[in-house]
Amino acid sequence: MILSVSRRTDIPSYYSDWFFNRIKEGFVYVRNPINSHQVSKIVLTPEVVDCIVFWTKNPKLMLKRLDELKEYNYYFQFTLTGYGRDIESNIPHKKDKMIPVFQELSERIGAEKVIWRYDPILFSNKYTPEYHLKAFEQIATALKGYTEKCVISFVDEYTKTKRNMEAIGVFELKPPQLQTFEKKIAEIAKSNGMKIASCAESIDLEACGITRNSCIDKELIERIIGCRLNVNKDKNQRPTCGCVESVDIGTYNTCKNGCKYCYANYSAESVLKNCSKYDPQSPILCGVLDKNDKIIERKVISQKEHQLQFELY
């Protein structure tokens, strides 16, 4: 099993104590986001967890506790953009705070295991293509040698983020302008020793030097764990998503980053209500179980392929 921690909320930033308690206990409860009374019990032991993929904008609180993950394989998707607090309201200062955290994490676990995400990219009167190129180059220069890969995407308009996007004044670039922008982004990444890839984009960016990405990346995970995996493409993600199947243990409407483009929060009121239920000792994130809940143990297994290796004499 590949464990996703988490597409739905920033667990490393806000709920790392809860996560480490779940690792210690060896299981977690996850409420079905569609059927709220269906709860899955998921085993989290090293025997079944092949790799953990962390998604975060600030893993600082985890740095001092990484030794507690010594029996697990893992890597980080670390989002670091050029936006200010008008877009990402609760993220610490990028240059003074977050770049040093990225660098420290990379020094601890290795550049291969820290993926830099500059996404999503949105264009407005403030965040122009020129602004993004300048911000991207500054961050890329600071992260040179600390990561091997950068992932970009362009903002998608979800129903729940439409009002925010309209308030920001988001606009799309015309194809020729967008292609010029993409080529420049790719050139900056290459000059700083980074591969660059796109996340869930329907357009083909290969001509600009940008490959298609898999955030839950089978090839990377196989390199990290040292053996092959028997996994398929994740059918629960968008058709343009290249990720392989994983199990996510997060909860929607619990992320406190305050990003205007976020699809995982429905409203600030829902986030406040759910966060008030946070208990680091609870088996379920930002919630409580009630008499109507049906708990079912989800069957999870290691997907490693253990084949005999024969030597010829």
The pLDDT, as a whole number, for residue 308 is 45
Q: Answer yes or no: are the C-beta atoms of 81 and 74 closer than 8 Å.
A: no
CA dihedral of 48, 50, 56, 58, whole degrees rounded to 10: 90
The tokens describing 176, both together, are 């020729």
CA nearest 256: which of 1, 6, 10, 7?
10
Return averaged pLDDT per consecutive 10 residues of the chain, 313 residues in all. Answer: 97 98 98 94 98 98 97 98 96 97 98 97 96 98 98 77 86 92 96 91 76 89 96 83 92 96 89 97 95 95 74 43
- pLDDT tens digit sequence for 215-261: 999 999 999 999 999 999 988 887 778 789 999 999 999 999 999 99
Q: With H, G, I as helix, E, B as strand and everything else as coil, classify residue 152.
A: strand
The domain segmentation of the chain, as residue ranges, is 2-297
Nearest to 61, CA basis, from 256, 271, 263, 273:
256
Backbone φ, ψ for residue 53 (5° rounding): -110, 115
In the structure encoding, which two tokens stand for residue 163, read together? Answer: 């009002």
**Residue 166: its pLDDT value, please?**
87
Please state the pTM of the whole predicted model: 0.93
CA–CA distance, 107 with 44 (Å, rounded to integer): 26
Is residue 150 within 8 Å of 212, Cβ to Cβ?
A: no
CB contact at 8 A, 18 and 280? yes
The amino acid occupying position 51 is C
